[in-house]
Amino acid sequence: MLKKLLLAALLAVPTYAIEVEGLIPIAGYQSRQDNLITCQDGSQIKVEFLTPDMPRIQMSYKKRLEPNPSWAIAKTDWAPTAVTTSEDTSKIQIASANLKVIVHKNPLLIEIQDKNGRTLSKDARPLLGDPNHTQKVFDPSAGFMTVVTKELGLDEHFYALGEKAHKLDRRRGHFRMFNSDTPKYSEGTDPIYQSIPFYISLEDNRAHGLFYDNSYRSHFDFGNSGQEYTGYGVEGGQIDYYFIDGPTIKDVVRKYTELTGRIYLPPKWALGHQASRWSYYPDRMVEKIADTYQSHDLPLDVMTLDIDYMQKYRVFTWDLKRFADPDGLSKRLKAKGLHVVNIVDPGVKYQPNQPSKDEEQPELKDQSKSYYVYNQGTQNDYFVKRKDGKQMVTTVWPGETVFVDFTKEAARKWWGDLHRAYLDHGTGGIWNDMNEPADFTEKGDTGANQRDSYFDDLGRNTPHAKNRNVFALLMCKATYEGLLRLRPNDRPYVITRAAYAGIQRYSTMWTGDAASSWEALAVSVPMFCNLGLSGETFIGSDVGGFMGRGDGEMLTRAYQISFLVPFCRNHKAQDEYDQEPWRFGSYYEGIIRKYLKLRYRLLPYIYAGLDEARTTGTPFIRPLVLEYQDDSNTYAMDDQFLAGRDLLCSPVVKPNLEKKRVYLPRGNWYDFYTGQLQSKQHQTVDAPLETVPLYARGGSVIPLGPEKNTVDALPNAPLELRVYPNAAQKAEGTLYEDDGKTQQYLHGQFARRKVTFASRTLTIEKTGYALPERNLNVRFYNTKNQSATVDGKAVPVKWTPNYIEVQFREGPQAHVVKLL
């Protein structure tokens, strides 16, 4: 009785009643390799150090721990980590060289300290089981939930959680992880399309991360319901989390992406501007839109085919009237320098007719009487079933629809191989949409119509509740691996709407069906930043919004963000007003053209940023706090971002503004357009519609390419390096180049050269990679030198008030430019 009274006192919350059961004290522990702790009520805890900075903690409620294979984890072959263990009457301690995991016995609380004894994380309450959802913090409509609470710091800030329509700092927010089709969402709509149950905590200039690897619907509360704790509750499975120590945010992201994987490099053309609509059809319209972009001198690399290219929305088919000659279409677009991307939804038309005989290229045959994709999936038992063993039939675009069970390896391989129906006809990339999975019979985000479905899940036969959030991840895995099998030396290009942790290994993503509104434009900036902190670098949005009617001003301001974002696509719903750049007149079109041209000039810089993300996990689009985490001015900065380390953009996200309040962190900053050195950290600057405030960091070297209208144009054009010295007259940057198309970069076929400037000398590292024959133009800002040598030979110097420029022929050898 006394124990129950003490437990009730520990769990008491003054503002509302709570009826929960907490873990009862430890019954036994034996120091051995698995560090398994068993409690009196049968609950278990296991502590395992993957690295000295990353313990994994697994907890089960009133039952034994079970194996928990994960679709999110990329790396499992960690080197052994030396640990020491100790036990006394009050606690068990399991320690690496850097961290201590302390399991307090009564009450049972988990605390993590650094090697100096500083507490980094501590449970606020014992692990809870809440059968009735009486806690105010969580959704009372769900079933049993297991709850972990952590003490909330007085000045603790929270980031990541993937795609959330929310401010940058998650503090005081409440979020759900349940992939949902939420068109025209606005700030505060939750959940939306993705579930990334990983967050970063920052307090007293020290960061750590927590990744809760459980795909059931879960809930995060960062002080929304009270000031004492952060809460994580999950509606099934067991607690399985990784504590990832910093001390910097960048360290946390690096380690998280080592655990869950990093991006792959897509074909370089995917960085180009993309045109899309639901839908451009027939094929003549696709070409007409492409021709209009080009006749208006608007850079473009991709034409996207939405669902109306199919036969009545049957995936892996081509409409025999609208797109009778897909080979011819792709060849004609390729002659213009353009690539084709096809949408592929997970819904397969339910068509249980008499199967027909196998045919060559069935995607070009009439499938109205017998549909080859449904036939093959049924014959091989690849579709999701309900509890009664029958196929789960729901409703999406084709009408009655079935879904593939992507937890089956054979089904994933089959699905991946079906993409021959596109690649054989010239398609360059695949867009996976509607993969939450969307269901037209449902209202809201309940998942109610699919609730009684079951998945194979590695032979474990688990319910929809466990598999919904990983459905899109596995669809993208199947697509990516299929494209790679079909074209082994080509880089796959996959786009997705929904996702789970680890999605960056297989796909790029965009932020779904956003509204054409200023509110949606404003929230896109913190969304991009937190997606980057969640491991996703190749990200973007529908430029100008997908639903609702925008105007020329809003579209222009949207492009003034997206010209720096890796995925840059103009996409619009079929029943909304057109929003191609020329639709609002030459004034707006001219500004959009200017920033698209600048995007293409910045492609060498953006591409190097993707390589950095691939090798370190550091995202390209970054909140300022990532680079300046000791500067509290950056902690909740929602209207500025960094593109890479060296470009700071302060976009205008409200209408009718001609000025913008800008914050420049410590150090030198240069106006990107004029090259003038800025003198104030806080300043109000002119920001007419023609201009978005953009600054280069002092201490950087930024590469720029030529002005061009497709990514692959002008391969031998001059490359420009802009050198922006810091206060010590030093700068550095990176040049990264490869063939932009094949997998050879994975085998060392690339040039990654460090560029450094110090003591009035610029040094470019040599490379063994074959570079194109071209000139290199180097601009030095904030310098007064009048002459220069390149590799010991005098060269002409061009002088302007803000910079000097030298030019020389580049080669694979090292180059040294000295200012005299």
In angstroms, rounded to a whole number, what is the distance separating the alpha carbons of residues 645 and 695? 11
Q: In which element (H, E) is residue 11 found?
A: helix 2-11
Unique residue bearing structure tokens 């290994």: 505
With beta carbons less than 8 A apart as the criterion, state whether 660 and 684 touch.
Answer: yes
Unique residue bearing structure tokens 């499938």: 367
Unique residue bearing structure tokens 């800002």: 781
Known catalytic membership, residue 513: yes
Strand arrangement of the beta sheet that strand 21-22 belongs to? 21-22, 128-130, 145-151, 229-234, 218-222, 174-177
Mode of pairing for the β-strands spanning 751-758 and 761-764: antiparallel
With beta carbons less than 8 A apart as the criterion, state whether 283 and 323 touch.
Answer: yes
Q: How many CA atoms lie within 13 A of 157 on its CB side?
A: 23
In angstroms, rounded to a whole number, what is the distance separating the alpha carbons of residues 292 and 735? 34
Q: How many CA atoms lie within 13 A of 709 on its CB side?
A: 14
Known catalytic membership, residue 442: no
In angstroms, rounded to a whole number, what is the distance separating the alpha carbons of residues 539 and 495? 9
In angstroms, rounded to a whole number, what is the distance separating the alpha carbons of residues 66 and 775? 61
Integer angstrom CA distances of residue 699 from 337, 668, 722, 730, 782: 36, 8, 11, 6, 11
In angstroms, rounded to a whole number, what is the distance separating the alpha carbons of residues 277 and 569? 10
- Neighbour tally for 410: CB within 10 Å: 12
Mode of pairing for the β-strands spanning 499-500 and 194-195: parallel
With beta carbons less than 8 A apart as the criterion, state whether 74 and 129 touch.
Answer: no
In angstroms, rounded to a whole number, what is the distance separating the alpha carbons of residues 542 and 167? 19
In angstroms, rounded to a whole number, what is the distance separating the alpha carbons of residues 501 and 177? 11
SS3 736: strand
Known catalytic membership, residue 19: no
Residue type, 363: E
DSSP state letters, 176-210: EE-----TTB-TT--S-SEE--EEEEEETTEEEEE
In angstroms, rounded to a whole number, what is the distance separating the alpha carbons of residues 292 and 588? 16
Which residue among the candidates 111, 235, 433, 611 is catalytic per the annotation? 433
Which residue among the candidates 513, 542, 580, 589 is catalytic per the annotation? 513
Strand arrangement of the beta sheet that strand 347-349 belongs to? 347-349, 399-403, 394-396
- Per DSSP (E only), the strands in 105-197 are 109-114, 119-122, 128-130, 145-151, 157-160, 174-177, 194-195
Which residue among the candidates 436, 627, 639, 738 is catalytic per the annotation? 436
Q: Which residues are catalytic?
A: 433, 436, 513
